[in-house]
Every structure is written in C-alpha cells, then in structure tokens.
Structure 1
Amino acid sequence: MKALLVIDYTNDFIAEDGALPVGEPGRAIEQAIVSRIREFDAAKAMIVFATDVHEKNDANHPEAKLFPPHNIRGTKGRALFGEVGTLYDQIKDKNHVHWLDKTRYSAFVGTNLDLLLRENGVTEVHLTGDVTDICVLHTAIYAYSLGYKLVIYKDAVASFDPAGHEWALRHFKGVLGAEIR
C-alpha cells in the first residue's frame, strides 16, 4: 500500500508575505500537489498532511538559531496554502486523510507517523511539498532508514535554493534509491 505525504505546504513557506517563503518555486508546484492529493483521495489511499508547528517565543528549539519564527501554532501562517488548503478542508474528515503536527525537519521525528503507516499496511511513501533539501530530504532519509519504498514527485517539491533542490533530487535517487517521477 502507498501513502502520500504533503510536507509543510503552509502560508509561511509559500505565500509571498510568509515568514520564511520558498518563493515562486513553492507556488509553482501547487497544481502538481493538488493533482496528487486528488489522485490519492480518489483511490482512498492514505494522505498525510505533515505540517511544521512551532510555539511562540520558543528560543530553545534548534531552528530558532537558524530561521526566523515561522508556522507558529494558531497563526494564519501555519494554515495550508491556496488550493491545497481548500482541498484539505473538503477531504479532512475522510478516514484515509490525516493531519500530523511535526516539530522537526523529518515528519518521523517525535511523531507517530511510522506507527500510523504500518498500522495501515503502507510500504511505499510518496513525497510532495517543501523544502526539497530540508524537510522533504530529512523525511525521505528517515523513511528509507525505516524500510519504506520512496517516490518523489519532481514537479511537486520545491526549495528556495535551486542548487540544494537539484542536489536533493540526485540524493533521493542515487543514495536513497527513490523513484523520481
């Protein structure tokens, strides 16, 4: 069985006025993510919206030294961006759709994602979202280490760093054995 992970497609990462925007590359992948969500929803395959969350004024979080405050719990910056958010609102009550709060780059660290996937017989993880060379990469590394087959949609991942994006795509394929579509 397969599951789709939609990683960090929030206003803070995608909107022009977001706290830590990927920029135009992030907005350019919106329709590809929407297409994947619709495809997995039609098949009643698992969809997980793995979404970064931070607490206001949390100076002890490791990212506090690296990035400005972003995806603060309860803010509009943490809401899913654009049509992805609209589509989530339409399907969120279905049994195969899940919301996952994550506080680290990888959607597996400090969450029940591995348990959720295994309880549902998932062996293949399909990744979309941002940032290709940060959260998508770290999630892919953990998934690989846990024995999941990986599929990365090249048209549905983005980064603010074009060189990092390209490096991550090569790493997914050459080091993690991922299928790049």
Structure 2
Amino acid sequence: MSDIYNSHQALLIIDYTNDFVADKGSLTCGKPAQKLEPSIIKLANQFYQNGDWVILPTDVHIKGNPYHPETKLFPTHNVRGTWGRQLYGKLNDWYQSHKKSPKVFQMDKTRYSSFVGTNLDLMLRERHVDTLHLVGVCTDICVLHTAIGAYNRNYNLVIHKSGVATLSKTAQDWALNHFKNCLGAKIVK
C-alpha cells in the first residue's frame, strides 16, 4: 500500500481511439496520429514498469445528442460501444493486458478537457501525483484543454512531442508553442 505514495507522476494517453487515429475513423488525424503508436506504447511500458500511473482519458458520446456542443461542430465520433471508441491498434492490446493493474485505468470524458465533469483531479491528488506527461490526440483540442486544466490546477506538465498529433501542421506547431510559452510545459522528444 505504501507504494502509491511514492508515485508522483502519471502518463495521460488522451483519446487515442480508432475514430481519431484509424484511416476509417470519423474524425481522424490519420497518418500523423498513427505514427505515434510506438512512442505511446514505449511510454506506457516505461511508466508501468516504473510503478507510475497510466491513465487513458477517453472521449465518449451518445449518437445525435442534441445537448452536446460537439454535435454541431464535428461528425459523430467515439460513440460508446462502437469500433470508433476502441483504443487504436497496439494500444488496445496493451490496455487489455494491463487493465487489471491498479496503476492503469481508462476513464470516460465528455468534454475536451480530461478534468471537466470527471474525478481526475481528485484521483491524481489522492495518489500524490504532481507531474503529468501528456500524449494523444488532438494536440490543439483535447490535449491542449487537458493541459490548460492541469496548469490551472498547478500540475507540472511534460508534453511528449513524439506522442501528440492533430489535424494540421499549423495547429500542431501552435499548440506546442502554447504549451511551452503559456503553460510552462516541458516539451520533450
């Protein structure tokens, strides 16, 4: 039981699902997101082997929900129980083989930020986590909003450049600069 008090960092793998990554995903970042897979798996293994937390905040929606703001902005995506919401590729395999560990868990989120409408902050504070490593998609949407939420809650931020992707190079570059210059995040390869 005492080992939970030694871990002060967590890896958040944000929205790395078929709908956001696979060629046939309904809101896919395509090849740039697919290229992240080896880096994300490597980081997940490193964090797991070090006894740190691996958390998978994953977007979830109800098809045609007229009350959700994203319904007006984006095509239907990440609907609960669909192929599109499944974790992409080898990450799904990794999660299936590690999900029984108390240090690995997937959580639902319904907004861009992993903090909005979830108990993520409480869970992190209970576990004495003070540093968050962020990977996933989309860099300028859900990763960015999660980073802003973390910054506003005084977490240290590390963004893994080889672990984030979005819909355009311009948006990617802007988000990486914003993480560094406005949120004080450490950007690592």
TM-score (norm 1): 0.99
Per the TM alignment, residue 49 of structure 1 is displaced from its structure 2 partner at its CA by 0.4
Name the residue aligned to 1:15: 22
Aligned to 1:89, which of 96, 108, 127?
Answer: 96
Equivalent in the alignment of 2:51: 44
- Mapping of residues 110-125 of structure 1, within 5 Å: 110-125=117-132
Give structure 1 regions of 4+ aligned residues with deviation exceeding 3 angstroms: none
Letter in structure 2 aligned against 1:144:
Y
* Structure 1, unpaired ranges of 5+: none
Q: Which amino acid in structure 2 is aligned with residue 169 of structure 1?
A: L
1:63 corresponding residue in structure 2? 70
The aligned residue for residue 6 of structure 1 is 13
Equivalent residue in structure 2 for 1:166, among 156, 173, 180: 173
CA drift of 1:161 comes to: 1.4
The structural deviation recorded for 1:99 is 1.1
Q: Which residue of 2 aligns with 1:129?
A: 136
Distance, in Å, in 1 between the alignment partners of 2:156 and 2:93 is 29
Deviation of the 1:60 alpha carbon: 1.5
1:76 paired residue number: 83
Matched letter for residue 137 of structure 1: L
Q: How does 1:137-156 map to 2 (within 5 A)?
A: 137-156=144-163
C-alpha displacement at 1:116, in angstroms?
Answer: 0.4
Letter in 2 for 1:17: K
Aligned residues: 181
Q: Tell me, what secondary structure is at the counterpart of 1:122? A: coil
Q: Does 1:175 align with 2:187?
A: no
The two structures have a TM-score, normalised by structure 2, of 0.95
Whichever residue aligns with residue 186 of structure 2, its letter is E
